[in-house]
Structure 1
Amino acid sequence: MLSNNLVRRDQIEVEGAMLSYLSAGTSSRIPLLLLHGTFWSRVWQPVLPALGEVARCVALDLPGFGASGGELDVKQASVPSLASTVVRAADALGLEEFDLAGHDIGGGIAQHIAATSGRVRRLVLMNSVMFDSWPVPAVERFRDPQVRAATSVQDLLDARTTSTRRSVLRELSDNELADYLSPWRDPARVRSWTAMAAAADPSYTQDLVPALQDLVLPTRLVWGRADDFQKISFAHRYVELIPGSDLVEVDGKHIPTEDSPRAVAEAIIAHLIR
């Protein structure tokens, strides 16, 4: 699946902060919002050209993440609060109804929006948090305010270097790794990341289960089967419990867009256009 569809970086103002996003596709196509978790919009970059052939793609950087302005505190970094921010971003973009994809904690945000907004047409969850699958220990430790206060830029860079390498099956090039790590050279983004980690709470996804079961929303899970962080067993459980959902397994780990971009794009496109 080769595409010459260009990926652009744009921005919108939401609640006084300039939020950055990667975009692909034309405004005439059905909008697809793509959300990140503990990484940033970079996780979607490998598949945006292909997805832009069928959708108007908007891969948003949350406040204090990626290339966006602003800074999150722990309250603002909760799943419900971030879901509200995303809905306001959709309003600013003029999107009433949209398809929605989420990776990692972004998948938890996506589940919340799907269950509460009435605006999601189809849902995609890629190696997403769900049920009580999160937070993993490396994230959970940031609930301690002393840990957050003691975390320097270099500390987070070292931790993100390790987790990024562990998230991809293949070996990232030096330039690719530097690109993934680039936001966390800024102290405000370090504080936003540790706030998201501190706000991680499995009750946010567990409490959504009854609403998602009643919704019967067309949902596709796309999963790197070798993920060490979000185990594929949770994806199988989701498909068993949530009507309207199915699972496509691909080669890869926590960021399967890097390991299997063609397979990921094909799985998402088939779900969006069926």
Structure 2
Amino acid sequence: MSETTTETTALRTEIQVDGETASYLTVEQDGPAVLLLHGTYWSRVWLPVLDRLAEAGLRPIAVDLPGLGRSGGELTLETGTVPALADWVARFASALKLSGPIAVAGHDIGGAIAQHLLVHDQLEVSRLALVNSVTYDSWPVSSVARFRDPDLVAATTGDEILAARRQAVTTALAGAATEQLIADYLDPWTDARVRRSWMAMVGAADNRYTREAVPALRQNTALKLLIWGEDDGFQKVAYAERFAAEMPHTTLIRIPDAGHIPTENAPGPIARALSDFFTA
């Protein structure tokens, strides 16, 4: 099926990973694969750029992590950690028979997974792009970290989680926010299983994984691209500036008047930047 909220040739399809459905958005065609990872949202964050990546000759694959978005299964505190999710992404890539070095882009906590994949051996990563990603000790942010309290989680209703996510999504979308787009982003959280998976990911959120990756990232010679919405109140652009200054072969592209999900604010410039980076 195709996504109906944005005009696109991208299709939603699925494959089995660990006996559960792994759902992903893609434009099926020959060309180098680009694996697109989300964080505390879902694959919807990549939809605005998929067609343009395909027009550049790439095969974009925006997967929903287990228990999130449209994928089946359910995360736990053990399977929701960055290393566990990186292992799952490697199994997903294997299920798709993606061979050779693979280009990877990550948004939000998906960026932590991408960094982990780059500096460990689960997947051979050719190039790394981070879009308003978590880095260093920048996460979990306060609006997410409060859900790490087991007592608060036990007392929180589904409606309260939806209300919290609505507020976060509205802020993240910045000037692109409309009622339809907010509803589109929130749709997966109407499923209690997805809410539980999201809470597990939040409960497992730990910035030691990005902090521990820093020494290896400083030694890594792969090309890296940072794309940052300058008005992001969750992942400050100062972290991107620090990363670009410290990590070799890194380029930073700043997106003015864009928030935490800049693909919705400036899909054209971001798609061009990603396409140029992955096809150079």
Is residue 54 of structure 2 the alignment partner of residue 69 of structure 1? no
Q: Does 1:123 align with 2:128?
A: yes
| Two-structure CA RMSD over aligned residues (Å) | 1.2
1:103 and 1:127 in contact (8 A); partners too: yes
The alpha carbon displacement at 1:150 in A equals 2.1
Q: Deviations over 1:118-163 (max 9, x none)?
A: 5111111000000001011111112211222222221111011101
Moved over 3 A (4+): none
- Mapped to 1, the partners of 2:52 and 2:176 lie a distance apart of 23
How many Å apart are 1:233 and its aligned residue?
0.2
Counterpart for residue 105 of structure 1: 109
SS at match of 1:70: coil
- Which among 219, 241, 249 is matched to residue 244 of structure 1? 249
Taking the aligned partners of 1:157 and 1:5, their CA distance within structure 2 comes to 27
Give 1:186's aligned residue.
191
SS state of the match for residue 170, structure 1? helix
Is 2:271 the counterpart of 1:265? Answer: yes
CA deviations over 1:24-66 (Å, ceiling 9, x no partner): 251x200000000000000000111101122111100001110
Q: Does 1:58 align with 2:64?
A: no
Residue 180 (structure 2) pairs with residue 175 (structure 1) = yes
Relative to structure 1, is the Cα distance of residues 191 and 241 closer, same or farther in structure 2, using a 3 angstrom cutoff?
same
- Contact 2:176/2:264, CA 8 A, preserved across alignment: no
Q: Distance in 2 between matches of 1:125 and 1:31?
A: 16
Which of 217, 222, 226 pairs up with 1:217?
222
Unaligned runs of 5+ in 1: none
Partners of 1:228 and 1:76 in 2: how far apart? Answer: 28
Q: Which one is further off, 170-179 or 104-113?
A: 170-179
Amino acid across the alignment from 2:133: S
Structure 1 residue 103: Cα displacement: 0.2
Maintained 8 Å contact 2:25/2:62: yes
Partner Cα distance (1:166, 1:13) in 2: 34
What corresponds to 1:95 in structure 2? 98
- Number of equivalent positions: 270
Deviation of 1:224 (Å): 0.3
Could you give the per-residue CA deviations for residues 79-115 of structure 1, whole angstroms, max 9, x where no partner exists? 0000000000000001122100000000000000011
2:271 counterpart letter in structure 1 = A
Q: d(CA) in 2 for partners of 1:144 and 1:159?
A: 15
Give the C-alpha shift of residue 171 in structure 1.
Answer: 4.4
Please point out which of 148, 162, 167 is paired with 1:157.
162
**Counterpart residue identity of residue 82, structure 2:** V
Deviation at 1:172, TM superposition (A): 2.1
Aligned to 2:205: 200
Asked if 1 retains the 8 angstrom alpha-carbon contact of 2:38 and 2:106, the reply is: yes
Q: Is the 8 A contact 2:118 2:125 kept in 1?
A: yes
How far, CA to CA, are the matches of 1:99 and 1:107 in structure 2? 13
Q: Which of 23, 27, 51 is the equivalent residue of 2:26?
A: 23
The worse-fitting range, judged by mean Cα deviation, of 174-183 and 141-150 is 141-150
Q: Identity over the aligned pairs, expressed in percent?
A: 44
Equivalent residue letter for 2:244? V
TM score, norm. by length of structure 2:
0.94
Q: Is 1:41 the counterpart of 2:43 in the alignment?
A: yes
